Structure 1
């Protein structure tokens, strides 16, 4: 296994199923620019967004021009107050998106109407606590100065739980019939620029291999575990962009001929693949044996079959202690905290102050994903 933001792990970890590949972080920016946003299939839910003093989120002058301020106003029922929540993380009116001005993350940044771009400043989470959160800024939609007068500009501000940050908004379009605690629309919201190979349906199919995953404990624990797995996967694959290891020069390094079964698929066949980048012949064999799939002879299944790829990620999550003392699954269901999942996955290179930037990247994703699922992240987030 490997992290896109980390160096190769030492070979001694191979018995734990956690050898990983070199990073090529510089490739990420170039590849991300070529990707398209994956649109959810769910239909939008439409309605007013009602907040302070029973007033509505309103597009000033019902003007759909880019940059038109969004304000508080008496509810009139006109189209300037009709918002859709299509399930892709956006809130839309008059055919455009609710947008934080200049992609700012600062307290007091105004919100406006703008062409939908898929950028983080147009992503919003309607939580069960009635906050409307922009995860990129980790701030709430807020009525400026708690002023309920018509025309008061809306902004983002640090979430306080005050009445000027509470809203009744349309629910996300579509229903969750998968049984997974993460709906398809939430999954799309988490990974708006993902590689289409990493499909939601593939993930849902894979869940049957580890029925205890994200089904153990309270609803909060279930959602935290799902968010933790997806946050680590997000970091490992550059936001679910990379399916295979990008450094082809490493491919021939992952065959351990000391194993009795050798490398039947070839010297260079066991490079990193999938959401936690399965690598080395012994890891392909161990994962395949656990899943009932002959991955030793057919390693390419991990890059051609979405459900198989997700299954290998869940195999590591649920069975390997890696550089830690517990599996990532046990860390989450036993309330040991997200930090222990980082230690399991890449603790030898990241934890105990070795690479705080990588740890912060994982924690940021986890906080964003728990916000999308409407739960708190819990304690012990760092390793």
Structure 2
């Protein structure tokens, strides 16, 4: 081998490790940018970003084994009962209860951690009234998401039409974004452009422009489900929220208050047009799921179980 060839070969050997190192650095940077996007918002330097899409301070559940960036630590795990039990919802439904009710769920997306922490954005959920009332409300919510998603085993509906309503709802323009579809997504199967718009205003994410976030980010997905539950006047209706009727706030002007509250009333609010006022196997599934949830949570189901 002549001296020129030897010199070139040596240079290539020197460059190979450098090129490999540069490629590895680029890969790490690219991976970090992807995983950081999992968080609902950009986490500050002092916060952890969890793979479930949540930001949290050091030693919080977000910094446990699911932590993907920030001051991660092994001192906690995402399902540390002592920590999650400090959240109101964590005292009503435990990880063991959640696992029992949703044994076949998509665990990588519908995690107990995301469920508990997303609920903290809606502080009245599962905290109104006495303990039995709180348990019944949570059981009712769990029953509906059980039926909507086949036990949290699906994220999106098979029907992927645009679901674009061209009118104006509550004087707020909810014009559909070109190329975007507003088909059912998430635990409560959020549907229609105007609901994506209203949910955006509540949870602080532009779901009208990025409806796919409901299918990609666990925290956002659960937050939309809680928004559906807590919000009166869903869609084009004038009905109260499911939260209201499960906490004994009647929406009827009659004296038959009990017939206007309870689990049956939530079916009417969420699915009245398609499942109430007639024989409905789907409505019966909801009632059966509610009875199962109350059994697991250890509370009597109460009155008015059907719509």
Provide the TM-score with structure 2 as the length reference.
0.63
**Corresponding position of 2:272:** 347
Please give the alpha-carbon distance, in whole angstroms, between the structure 2 residues aligned to 1:258 and 1:351.
Answer: 26
Q: Decide whether aligned partners of structure 1 residues 355 and 268 sit closer, same or farther in structure 2, where only a CA change above 3 A counts.
A: farther
Is 1:272 the counterpart of 2:200? The answer is no
SS of the counterpart of 2:120?
helix
SS of the counterpart of 2:88?
coil
Higher relative contact order (CA 8 A, sep 6+): 1
Deviations 1:236-294 (CA, angstroms, capped at 9, x unpaired):
1111111011123x2x3x12344545223x34422211011112221111100121211
Which of residues 273, 295, 305 in structure 2 aligns to 1:371? 295
Q: Is the 8 A contact 1:236 1:275 kept in 2?
A: yes
- Aligned residue pairs total 206
Q: Is the 8 A contact 2:262 2:302 kept in 1?
A: yes
Which of residues 346, 354, 359 in structure 1 aligns to 2:283? 359
**Corresponding position of 1:330:** 244
Provide the TM-score with structure 1 as the length reference.
0.51
Unaligned runs of 5+ in 2: 1-79, 249-257
Deviations 1:191-244 (CA, angstroms, capped at 9, x unpaired):
001122111111112112210000011100000000000101111111111101
Please give the alpha-carbon distance, in whole angstroms, between the structure 2 residues aligned to 1:321 and 1:209.
Answer: 20
Please give the alpha-carbon distance, in whole angstroms, between the structure 1 residues aligned to 2:147 and 2:192.
Answer: 20
**Corresponding position of 2:131:** 219
**Corresponding position of 1:191:** 102
**Corresponding position of 1:140:** none
Please give the alpha-carbon distance, in whole angstroms, between the structure 1 residues aligned to 2:97 and 2:174.
Answer: 42
Unaligned runs of 5+ in 1: 1-172
Q: Cα offset for 1:184?
A: 0.9
Higher strand share: 1
Please give the alpha-carbon distance, in whole angstroms, between the structure 1 residues aligned to 2:283 and 2:238.
Answer: 15
Q: Cα offset for 1:330?
A: 0.7
Computed over aligned residues only, the root mean square deviation of the Cα atoms, in angstroms, reads: 2.0
**Corresponding position of 2:88:** 179
SS of the counterpart of 1:240?
coil
**Corresponding position of 2:164:** 255
Q: Is the 8 A contact 1:240 1:275 kept in 2?
A: yes
Q: Is the 8 A contact 1:255 1:267 kept in 2?
A: no
SS of the counterpart of 2:97?
helix
